[in-house]
Amino acid sequence: MTAEWVVRAPHPQLRPAITRYIGYTQHGVTLETHRGLPSRHVTLVISLAEPIRFTGLPRPGQSPGRYTAALGGMHTAPALIAQDAFQSGVHVEIDPLATPALFGVPATELSNLVVDLAELGPKHLAERLADAPTWAHRFAILDDVFRPARADREPAREVAWAWRRLTAAGGLIRVEDLAAEVGWSRRHFAERFRRELGLPPKQAARVLRFERAIARLRQAPTDLATLAADCGFYDQAHLSNEWRALAGCSPRTWIAEELPFLQDQDASAGPDSGT
């Protein structure tokens, strides 16, 4: 397989609402199904080739679909994507607190869902990106599209602070402690958090611990017992159970099937390689 990965930070005005843009082109893909895993982001994927084919979705009952551009909320189960031998597109990592400003919908309406970007706008974005001659032009288009985001749709200050605190700690803070630090009851805090981000704080912490474990594996191989201890799991069995729930497979299956492709991506693209 040959692949090109291009990464660029968004315009400063869009940070931290958007973390980064990732452009990709892959030839000779052999992995038949990719697992779109839970993470701290709302994810926008725009295909510059064939439509994205979702064969399994995080929310039970949501039908599989084909989308040229798909927006996925925070989720606690994998999105299964059938892969073509050739694929090209743009992946945008978005802070869930920014979805009201960027798309006009709260993150709770996207929780565990994948929706067609055409339902939310902007219109004809995929066509504009496909017609652009370089990745730099494509990223500039995205900057122009998202910079008029509505400033009047700011999240609650307490929830925004708690989310930053939880993400910085990799999910290793008790919900009771976060609630106490913002001066709310646990119940009120959990409801306001869920309303703003789409997941309750306990579920968001699960996702962050899982994401931390994946990041460690991408950096260097390690045994599962050490990984569990380093990332806040009770033991290796707890890590394995959470992995099956969040990824839909065992850690060893994921390491064998998916990790080599992610390591190729990491080796090909620096933190800001947009050209």
Could you report the per-residue pLDDT of 82-111, keeping only the tens digit for each? 999 999 999 999 999 999 999 999 999 999
* Structure tokens that stand for 69 in this block: 């551009």
Shared-domain flag, residues 245 and 263: no
The span from the CA of 156 to the CA of 39, in Å, is 21
Shared-domain flag, residues 7 and 111: yes
Contact of 40 with 13, CB cutoff 8 Å? no
Q: Provide the edge-to-edge strand list for the sheet that holds 79-82.
A: 33-36, 79-82, 52-56, 65-67
Query: In the prediction, which pLDDT does 152 show?
Result: 67
Element housing 186 (H / E): helix 186-197
Domain range for 35: 2-152+259-268
The span from the CA of 204 to the CA of 206, in Å, is 5
> Could you tell me if residue 191 is inside a domain?
yes
Shared-domain flag, residues 133 and 14: yes
Shared-domain flag, residues 216 and 94: no
Report the DSSP beta bridge partners of residue 23. 6, 90
Shared-domain flag, residues 163 and 86: no
* Structure tokens that stand for 103 in this block: 């798309």
Q: What is the CATH number of the domain that holds 74?
A: 2.60.120.10
In this predicted structure, which of 15-24, 142-151, 209-218 has the lowest mean pLDDT? 142-151
At residue 238, the 3 state secondary structure works out as helix
Shared-domain flag, residues 172 and 46: no
What is the per-residue pLDDT across 230-259, written as a single tens digit (0 to 9) for each? 999 999 999 999 999 999 999 999 999 888
Contact of 203 with 210, CB cutoff 8 Å? no
Residue range 19-38: average pLDDT? 95
Shared-domain flag, residues 165 and 219: yes
Q: What is the CATH number of the domain that holds 199?
A: 1.10.10.60
The span from the CA of 36 to the CA of 57, in Å, is 9
Structural domains of the chain, count: 2
Report which DSSP code applies to 154: P
Shared-domain flag, residues 109 and 168: no
Residue range 146-169: average pLDDT? 90
Shared-domain flag, residues 264 and 202: no
Shared-domain flag, residues 80 and 211: no
* Structure tokens that stand for 20 in this block: 């980064």
> Could you tell me if residue 101 is inside a domain?
yes
Angle at 52 between CA 115 and CA 46, to 5 degrees: 70
* Structure tokens that stand for 221 in this block: 């191989």
Residue 176 has pLDDT above 60, yes or no: yes
What is the per-residue pLDDT across 37-65, written as a single tens digit (0 to 9) for each? 999 999 999 999 999 999 999 999 999 99
The span from the CA of 120 to the CA of 89, in Å, is 19
> Could you tell me if residue 274 is inside a domain?
no
Shared-domain flag, residues 110 and 29: yes
Contact of 161 with 183, CB cutoff 8 Å? no
Shared-domain flag, residues 138 and 208: no
The span from the CA of 217 to the CA of 262, in Å, is 10
Report the DSSP beta bridge partners of residue 94. 18, 42
